[in-house]
Structure 1
Amino acid sequence: MRRLPAVAMAALLAVPMSGCKVMQRISDGSFNNAVTDGVVAELRDRGVRLEHRPSCKTPDSGSTSVVRVHCTARTRAGEPITVTGLAEAADTAHPRELYVVTVGGRELFRKDCLGLGCR
């Protein structure tokens, strides 16, 4: 089972279930929710209004040390929003994260953390 990046640690809830695959799905879901919440907060702080919350997916990287996330959304004006995230050393106490957010095909920001608790 892989360790979640820092952005997801606060969002992970303890759920009494067995099996690594079940916990992996829960962990991916928690990570996706944490990234979504962070993206919503970052865009709101920049005055970008969303049509709906971003939809995020965590494709299997084939490694416990690499976690990727891809999110899509639209602004209220209809411009596409994409979020790509990468966490390396995700199975350690100090993962290295990078998130890139584009609006209408233009990079809006690039950060190593998202939302609350970001430095």
Structure 2
Amino acid sequence: MKQLATENVDQFHVRLRTQAALCSFTDVDREILAQLIEGVNSSKLRKKALRDRLTLTQFLSEARNEELTEAQTREIERTDQACAINNKTKNVKVHKQPAPTTFKTKQGHSG
């Protein structure tokens, strides 16, 4: 099974656990971890799990941290982009037309 683009790792974990209940695995957590590693969308997380030989609990903790970090990063970048756009519109110079000048004639009348 693969993680859906619309689900977080916890949702994927629940989906795998539901499927595992239909099987007769001797070590359910080991099988779920193997499926998580194989099916997770994050290659960074997959590499870390394989390199560091994470347990299921460690994998889920790392996955939650990564998802939270990604969400926070997106929010910061979105806010920075909005601020940059806002600052750009503030820096646009508005050219005002000069007020018309009045000329006085020799008789002192304005016209």
User: With structure 2 as the length reference, what TM-score do the two structures score?
Assistant: 0.32
Q: Structure 1 length as normaliser, TM-score?
A: 0.31
**CA radius of gyration, larger in:** 2
